[in-house]
Amino acid sequence: MKRTDRLSALLVLPGILLAGCTMVGPDFTRPAAPGVTQYTEGGHPAPADNQTVQADWWKLFHSTALNELIEAGLKNNPSIAAAEAALINARESANAERSNLLVPAINAQAGETRQRLSPEAFGFPGSPNTFSLTNASVGVSYTLDFFGANRRQVESMEAQVDAERYLLQAARVTLAANIVTTAIREAALREQLRATDGVEQLESKTLSILETREKLGAISQTEVQLQRATLAQTHATIPALQKQLDQTRHQLAVYVGKFPGEAGLPRFELKDLTLPRQLPVSVPSALVRQRPDILVSEALLHQATANLGLTIAGAYPNVTLSASFGSIATRPGDLFNTGSTIWSLGGNLVQPLFRGGALQAEQRAAQAALDQSAAQYRQTVLNAFQNVADVLRALETDATALSAQTDAAAATRRSLTLAQAQYASGGISFLTLLSAQERDTQTQLALIQAQATRLADSAALFLAMGGGWWNDSGATP
């Protein structure tokens, strides 16, 4: 047999032996989707058809500035970069482990040594001899995976790759939702500051009138002091609103990978954000296949299942084959002569016999870890459905609240218009007009908050439904 044929036989032999191997331990099965028909008690039945979420759902708010900010965040946010690096780390580690465990290891070796041996060492008289040895060989080693320990190890690492992949998607969709809600909060705070400044101006005018009337003896000093207290309270809210606005801007800068002191962030106004006309609601069976947090938990459950199989396989025999083929000679020129050929074949079997109960304890621990992962998966699914239910209920009440606040704002605006006409004709005092203006401004403040809440909860629904990442052309469900 030629040398190349012998080497090929050594490489093929493990594959032939592995073909008859089995895998001990449980095989992973994806958990079934919950059989619920509605998201909330007494309402919100699951839709008949799955309503998918587009990958760039934030574009439904029709804000060019918001779209550009999210694109910058997805590109520059350090948390996204860290999640991408973690995925690469897990994937390449799994690739390395797969090669180490499932592919025969082949090593080439060459060397030359200078030796001096004395015949006296072997019981013969004579003078010491000095000579050189040159050798070159190729060695192959392989552990036969009769019971699937190596394959379970690779399976466990591939499940970790899945977990990191879904963690990356979770980071991306969460970042997009955070930028949207933070931009909405900035717009609302800006409007609230503007409205509060108007209230302060009206209350300041009211105070001036009351002070004049108090000097004329028309009213008591108590009424003046009450108005001063009201003005002071309104004035005290402005620094707090300004602080919240500044902190919101700082948060937006960090989301897009910038320092808070850097310029260039757009200014957001509520009038520039459009409420999406249609909000998607996924069927429960699709929700558990779309939400990244559920998929992460499922991947960890898969990993725990593989680890249990790996632990069980540790109690079975382990067989390692090794072989080498090469040449050895006292002169480099004779290295590849027929008489210089050397080879070896070997096998090693290890069967655990007594470990003081360690193997059984390890298996019980792995089983407990699997039970823990299963319970955590169920909890993640429950939390996800609670999240959806909360958002759906919030949107329902948001719509009612926004409608009521819109009606209230319209009513106070009509009242203000009437008061302005009455004041122009001398029918009411200026104080009465200022009171109508203040009520109108306060109602506008409540309307601003209702609009912002409805916008933010709409973004929360897109996140609750998984964020649409699976509809991205570069994503893998």
CA distance to 275, 302, 395, per residue, from 388 (Å): 19, 25, 11
Amino acid letter, 365: A
What tens digit of pLDDT does each residue of 182-236 get? 999 999 999 999 988 988 888 888 888 888 888 888 778 888 888 888 889 889 9
Sorting pLDDT into bands at 50, 70 and 90, what band is 13? very low
DSSP 8-state code for residue 123: T
Distance (Å, whole) CA 265 – CA 249: 8
CB–CB of 467/172 below 8 Å?
yes
Q: Give per-residue burial for 69-104: e unless 16+ CB within 10 Å, then b.
A: bbebbbeebebbeebeebbeebbeebeebbeebbeb
Structure tokens at 228: 């001063």
**CATH code linked to domain 39-105+149-316+359-471:** 1.20.1600.10
CB–CB of 205/230 below 8 Å?
no
State the virtual CA torsion across 147, 369, 82, 259 in degrees, nearest 10: 180
The reported pLDDT for the residue numbered 3 is 44
Distance (Å, whole) CA 101 – CA 91: 15
Q: Specify the pTM.
A: 0.85
CB–CB of 56/467 below 8 Å?
no
What tens digit of pLDDT does each residue of 291-338 get? 999 999 999 999 999 999 999 998 999 888 888 888 888 777 777 777
- The maximal CA–CA distance of the chain, rounded, in angstroms, is 139
Distance (Å, whole) CA 477 – CA 469: 8
Q: Which of 4-18, 191-205, 337-351 has the lowest mean pLDDT?
A: 4-18
Sorting pLDDT into bands at 50, 70 and 90, what band is 43? low
Distance (Å, whole) CA 251 – CA 69: 12
Sorting pLDDT into bands at 50, 70 and 90, what band is 12? very low
What tens digit of pLDDT does each residue of 350-379 get? 888 888 888 899 999 999 999 999 999 999
What tens digit of pLDDT does each residue of 70-90 get? 999 999 999 999 999 999 999
Where helices occur in 220-291 by DSSP H, the ranges are 221-255, 284-290
Nearest CA among 241, 230, 238 for reference residue 205? 230
Distance (Å, whole) CA 297 – CA 192: 41
Distance (Å, whole) CA 420 – CA 432: 10
State the virtual CA torsion across 290, 59, 195, 432 in degrees, nearest 10: -90
Distance (Å, whole) CA 261 – CA 237: 25
Amino acid letter, 367: Q
Q: Residue 447: count other Cβ atoms within 10 Å of its Cβ.
A: 23
What's the chain's average pLDDT? 87
Q: What percent of the chain has pLDDT over 90?
A: 47
Collapse the DSSP code of 92 into the 3-class scheme (helix H, G, I; strand E, B; otherwise coil) and give the result. Answer: helix
Q: What integer is the mean pLDDT of 271-275?
A: 92
Whether residue 343 has pLDDT greater than 90: no
Q: What integer is the mean pLDDT of 99-124?
A: 82
Name residues whose C-beta falls within 8 Å of residue 306's C-beta, 6 or more positions apart in sequence.
Answer: 25, 28, 152, 153, 155, 156, 159
CB–CB of 175/77 below 8 Å?
yes
The helix (run of H) or strand (run of E) holding residue 113 is strand 105-117
The reported pLDDT for the residue numbered 310 is 93
Q: Residue 62: count other Cβ atoms within 10 Å of its Cβ.
A: 13
What tens digit of pLDDT does each residue of 394-426 get? 999 998 998 999 899 899 989 888 987 887 777
| Residues 152, 156, 159: CA angle, nearest 5 degrees | 135
DSSP string, 357-397: THHHHHHHHHHHHHHHHHHHHHHHHHHHHHHHHHHHHHHHH
The reported pLDDT for the residue numbered 46 is 60
Distance (Å, whole) CA 377 – CA 388: 17
